[in-house]
Homo-oligomer: A and B are copies of this chain.
Amino acid sequence: MKGFAMLKIGEVGWIEKDRPKCGPNDAICRPLALAPCTSDVHTVYEGAVGDRHNMILGHEALGIVDEVGSEVKSVKKGDRVIVPAITPDWGDEAEQRGYSSQTTGPLGGWKFSNFKDGVFGEFFHVNHAEYNLAKLPPDISLEAAVMIPDMMSTGFMGAENANIPIGGTVAVFGIGPVGLCGIAGAKLRGAGRIFAVGTRPKPVEIAKKYGATDIISYKNGNAAEQILELTDGAGVDSCITSGGGPDIIMDAMKAAKAGSYISNNNYFGKGMTDKDWIPLNRADWGVGMASKQLITGLCPGGKVRMERLASIIQTGRMDPALMATHVFKGLDKIEDALAMMKTKGPDVIKPVVMCE
């Protein structure tokens, strides 16, 4: 089978590999719809997860089941499925402790295009398939559904971890697709005023549709200071950091009230200093005692999460298809889609690829 792979740091291309083997708890799928992720760009061009050789890329997919192992009853050959970006080892000790994305080690639930071949191939392998694959409801579009595996799950996690009270104030730093889903998620948790920090016109337009009440541009000065000014110095109940560099937590720390949550769903590819540090601003952190809680996580996976996110689309609570700004046809177009994600023009939020 062929797949679109990271050949080494900085280089991509099509390769040939054997179709993956299917164990008793596994499934093998063909891609139905795919989307490249900013993480794929980080992985290839920044070597963010370290060097990889001939590893097929991609972790955002809808699929068609091609084969299932003997213990897999919940899906069968031919089923159209939502494939979570994170496929936990259900039952693993981290999962029993409540952290399903950290199974087998830190970030260990993230397997596709990290520890094994990803979804940008003619076939891909799914572990713990009984518990990871969700059936794709027929009443939602592929453009919408392909946002479920990572964008919605990660972005909503940002809002869920932010402990937003009904009517509370929220600041979302970054309005890429994950940040946009953080905005939508904040609205879904009952936020009142939502400050969205970003400048590109297309994301700004969607941010407003998803619930942002105030748009903050870095061009008008420090974002946190603008938020403080707009709240008469009070700051916000919850911050979500979904973009920016290694100093983004400091903006959140400044904008957050004493007694608040800062929810990070940023992937920090590099640190602020030569010692690889992410800094906290001591004074804004209340010398460590102002109850500004810093919560993190990795995209939740699994069947139930996928089903619940699908339900958000089915009930019209949010329309993620608005983010599918560019649609390609054919698996071979994944190369163009990734290139578009890399250069990211002003009107690009998320390119998607329809495989059938």
Contact = CB atoms under 8 A, between A and B. Distances in A.
Interface of A: 23-25, 48, 70-71, 88, 90-102, 105-108, 128, 130-132, 156, 159-160, 165-169, 185, 187-190, 192-194, 213, 237, 246, 257-259, 264-273, 275-283, 285-298, 302-305, 307-312, 314-315, 317
A275 B275 CA distance: 14
Given A168-B308, A269-B287, A276-B282, A91 B192 contact: no
Contacts of A132: 91
A292 B286 contact: no
A280 to B, nearest CB: 4
Contacts of A98: 259
A91 B302 contact: yes
A280 B282 contact: no
Given A98-B259, A293-B293, 10 more contacts: A25-B25, A88-B91, A90-B131, A105-B258, A107-B258, A187-B317, A194-B315, A273-B279, A276-B282, A278-B285
Contacts of A166: 156, 159-160, 185, 188-189, 308-309, 312
A257 B106 CA distance: 8
B131 A258 contact: no
Contacts of A311: 167, 169, 192-193
A345 B269 CA distance: 45
Given A259-B94, A315-B213, A99 B291 contact: yes
A129 B204 CA distance: 41
A99 B256 CA distance: 13
Given A190-B189, A289-B298, A312-B190, A96 B304 contact: yes
A128 to B, nearest CB: 6
Contacts of A269: 287
Nearest to A241: B288
Nearest to A311: B192
Contact of A291 (B190, B279, B297): B297
B308 A106 contact: no
Given A94-B258, A259-B99, A269-B287, A167 B277 contact: no
A281 B190 CA distance: 33
A102 to B, nearest CB: 4
Contacts of A190: 156, 185, 188-190, 312, 317
Closest 3 A/B residue pairs (Cβ): A167-B308, A90-B91, A99-B259
A130 B91 contact: yes
Nearest to A95: B90
A289 B279 contact: no
Quick one: which of A90, A102, A166, A315 has the most chain B CB within 10 A? A166
Given A278-B280, A312-B190, A70 B24 contact: yes
